[in-house]
Chain A
């Protein structure tokens, strides 16, 4: 994220219509915008259309941008609204979906039964994941598996994990963008991360 003073300078240039400032902004955010948009629409082409429409809306709205949220939050809010409009999936029932699922995130069979002397404890303790130095082959394999599993998560979990863990958005920013409570944001993050962890564990156990 830009430091506040950097963002103020960038905003001044954008409002003055400095084309270089827009190029900077496009280069900074387009990859992340395409990734987020792709969560809502069926094809890469549609995601590109969403991003293009978003940039035009950013241009139109720049003069009225109040700076109540960060520039990044504002841009992504426009992006998500645009993507939802173009998307075909149903978005209204998500809060219900979020709360309906009450199962655990770890296989129940991993824990001891109620009649065991240590009910609720691991039958067999998990092992730590190996450290993977920058550039190591195993690190790349695990990152690929994490990315593949991310793509398979339910939509809301996928979007929250993408914003938080891939793109580095703050929790309150995600709540504002997705219009969810902090608590529900954490539930979605928890389930998404836990599902990816489980797949990595299976892979590492071979």
Chain B
């Protein structure tokens, strides 16, 4: 039987990553989802976290300076030719 103890908002915010990572056991997951069903604040908090993750995914790595790229390729070619 499902543990009926409700989850509070201050607990939810510390479980949100485990939830997104599928790391909660079934009972805790069900309690958390029951809380989300009736708490708009936590639903919004979840949206804020997933939006944060999506924004981080858009942080692009800086373009590699062509000179650095060439130096790396030269170093590799130089090493290879000595073998």
Contact = CB atoms under 8 A, between A and B. Distances in A.
Interface of A: 17, 19, 22-23, 26-27, 30-32, 34-35, 48, 51-52, 55-56, 59, 104-106, 108, 111, 119-122, 125-129, 132, 139, 142-143, 146-147, 150, 161, 165-168, 171, 182, 186, 189-190, 193-194, 196-197, 200-201
Determine the main DSSP class of B at the interface with A. Answer: helix
B17 A31 contact: no
A126 B48 contact: yes
Contacts of B62: 31, 34-35
Contacts of B10: 104, 106, 108, 111, 120-121
Contacts of B30: none
A150 B58 CA distance: 13
B64 to A, nearest CB: 5
A123 to B, nearest CB: 9
A151 to B, nearest CB: 10
A166 B57 contact: yes
Contact of A147 (B9, B42, B59, B79): B59
Contacts of B41: 121-122, 125-126
Given A119-B8, A121-B8, A146-B59, A126 B79 contact: no
DSSP class of A's interface residues: helix, strand, loop or mixed? helix
Given A26-B73, A52-B75, A59-B79, A196 B56 contact: yes
Contact of B13 (A56, A104, A127): A104
B53 interface: yes
B2 interface: no
Interface residues of B, number: 42
A182 to B, nearest CB: 8
B1 interface: no
A58 to B, nearest CB: 9
Given A51-B72, A59-B79, A128-B44, A120 B8 contact: yes
Interface of B: 8-11, 13-14, 16-18, 21, 23, 39-42, 44-45, 47-49, 51-53, 55-59, 61-64, 68-69, 71-73, 75-77, 79-80
Contact of A143 (B17, B45, B58): B58
Given A26-B76, A105-B14, A120-B11, A128 B61 contact: no
Looking at B18, B39, B58, the one whose CB has the most chain A CB atoms below 10 A away is B58
